[in-house]
């Protein structure tokens, strides 16, 4: 079975969301009061999940036209059926302290190897290129212009979710 492209997965997710949004209000449970319910997102997920459950993550980072808004989800059955080892290279790229620091620096606006080299603890320019190339190969960085890097918007919220999950409850 061929793996779906990001565009195909996004189109399928949008179709599912549209179908959920067009259901009659009689089919929906009362809306959770986000101001008073610390589990408002979980309550919303429970209203729409089928089968053995599912996982959804979402985030809003920034404001105005530069804001990144992202939501992604999968049914538990699909996650259980996938070969988790296929995710190893993407996770492996995040498994080095310098690469995480580089990602953080790029996200915060230091977007060239030369500028990254001026910061402490990243090593030589060659070492920085090595780490940047690994992050780019795994999809955590993209080249936006010659020699300038960015965390792609579609990977920013997932990256922050991984970091949040790795840190546990704060």
Q: Residue 68: in which H helix or E strand, if any?
A: strand 68-75
Nearest one of 74, 61, 56, 71 to 151, comparing CA atoms: 61
Instruction: Give the end of a domain, one of 27, 58, 85.
Output: 85
Check residue 2 and give its pLDDT: 60
- What pLDDT, on the 0 to 100 scale, is given for residue 31? 52
Least confident of 2-11, 63-72, 91-100, 119-128: 2-11
> pLDDT tens across 19-49, in order?
665 554 334 445 546 678 888 888 888 888 8
Q: For 116-147, how does the pLDDT look when each residue is reduced to its tens digit (9 = 90+)?
A: 999 878 889 999 999 999 999 999 999 999 99
Picking from 75, 89, 74, the residue whose alpha carbon sits closest to that of residue 140 is 89
121: which DSSP letter? T
Using 50, 70 and 90 to split pLDDT, how confident is the model at 110?
very high
Upper half-sphere CA count for residue 31 (Cβ side, 13 Å): 4
Judged against a pLDDT cut of 70, whether residue 107 lies above it is answered with yes
Evaluate whether 32 touches 40 at the Cβ level (below 8 Å): yes
Inform me whether the pLDDT recorded for 169 exceeds 70.
Answer: no
In angstroms, the CA 11 to CA 5 distance is 10
Query: Rounded to a whole number, what is the distance in angstroms from the first to the last CA of the chain?
Result: 40
Domain span at 111: 86-167
The pTM of the whole model exceeds 0.85 = no
Q: Is 32 exposed, middle or buried (0-12, 13-18, 19+ CB in 10 A)?
A: middle
**Are 78 and 93 contained in the same domain?**
no
Last residue of a domain, one of 26, 51, 85: 85
């Amino acid at each position: 079975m061929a793996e779906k492209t990001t565009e195909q997965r996004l189109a399928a997710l949008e179709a599912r969301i549209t179908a959920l949004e067009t259901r009659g209000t009689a089919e929906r449970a009362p809306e959770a009061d986000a101001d008073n319910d610390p589990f408002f997102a979980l309550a919303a997920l429970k209203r729409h999940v089928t089968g053995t459950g599912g996982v959804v993550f979402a985030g809003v980072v920034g404001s105005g036209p530069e804001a990144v808004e992202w939501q992604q989800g999968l049914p538990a059955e699909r996650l259980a059926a996938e070969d988790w080892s296929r995710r190893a290279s993407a996770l492996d790229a995040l498994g080095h302290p310098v690469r995480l620091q580089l990602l953080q620096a790029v996200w915060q606006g230091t977007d060239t190897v030369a500028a990254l080299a001026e910061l402490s603890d990243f090593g030589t320019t060659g070492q920085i290129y090595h780490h940047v190339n690994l992050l780019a190969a795994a999809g955590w960085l993209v080249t936006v212009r010659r020699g300038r890097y960015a965390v792609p918007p579609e990977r920013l919220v997932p990256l922050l979710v991984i970091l949040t999950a790795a840190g546990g409850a704060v």
